[in-house]
Amino acid sequence: MALVVSHAGTAANSTMVELSKEYVFKIQNPSELENKFTVRKEKEAIEIMKGVGIDDLDKLKELLGGIDFTSVSTRQLGRLAVALYEMGYPDLGGMGFLLQGNMDCGPDGKSRNRDVKFNAIALMHEQLKGHVNFYDKEPQLKILPNSMHIIPSLICINQVVGAMAYFARALAQPVTQSEPKLGLIDERA
């Protein structure tokens, strides 16, 4: 609830305005399969993961089995975030974005609908673009200490999601001798 207060510090006519705490991040482009963080080569995916402290790629690939980042739930991302942290992922800001998933919360402010599927590739990219656009519209905020600390975390988590999506796609593709493994998202998905 919000209390409307006058400039003198007293309640203005004691008016109470109830504000809803319900929220869910609305993905503007839910069909976005590729962006500038899309990883197309295994070497690049390995470099990204090692760069953020994830050295056990076999364990990572085991965690990614069955995950499709274009149709993933908050619950799946939350489990993955905890596992990445346990494996040595150091950026808690970026981890928070994975943990909150699509940010769906009810009137009590608690997470809900944790099994609803959404496109994490589009979600993370749009969150980054939204934060960058915010600072572009409010340039005076850029000079405040630590005001833009979340931007590097969002860039990093977008890179990590791109690398994990590459590994997940590679794991999902059948290996045959006549058909090589592709690293791109199946456009039919």
146 vs 99, more confident: 99
Domain count, the chain: 1
Q: Is residue 11 part of a domain?
A: no
Question: Do the domain assignments include residue 27?
Answer: yes
Of the given ranges (50-59, 80-89, 104-113), which has the lowest mean pLDDT? 104-113
Domain-embedded: residue 5:
no
The reply to whether 102 falls in a domain is yes
Confidence band (pLDDT; 50, 70, 90) for 17?
low
Q: Give the model's confidence band at 176: pLDDT under 50 very low, under 70 low, under 90 confident, else very high.
A: low
Statement: residue 18 has pLDDT above 60? no
Is there a domain that residue 148 lies in?
yes
Contacts of 105 (CB under 8 A, 6+ apart): 21, 22, 23, 24, 111, 112
Q: What is the DSSP string of 74-116?
A: HHHHHHHHHHHHHHT---HHHHHHHHHTT--B-TTS-B--TT-
pTM of the predicted structure, to 2 decimals: 0.78
Of 153 and 15, the one with more pLDDT: 153
Residue 46: inside a domain: yes
Task: With a cut of 90, say whether residue 38 has pLDDT above it.
Answer: yes
Instruction: Report if residue 49 sits inside a domain.
Output: yes
Domain containing 136: what range? 21-172
| Average pLDDT score over residue span 107-132 | 92
**pLDDT recorded at residue 142:** 76
Per the domain annotation, does 31 fall within a domain?
A: yes
What percentage of residues in the chain have a pLDDT greater than 90?
60
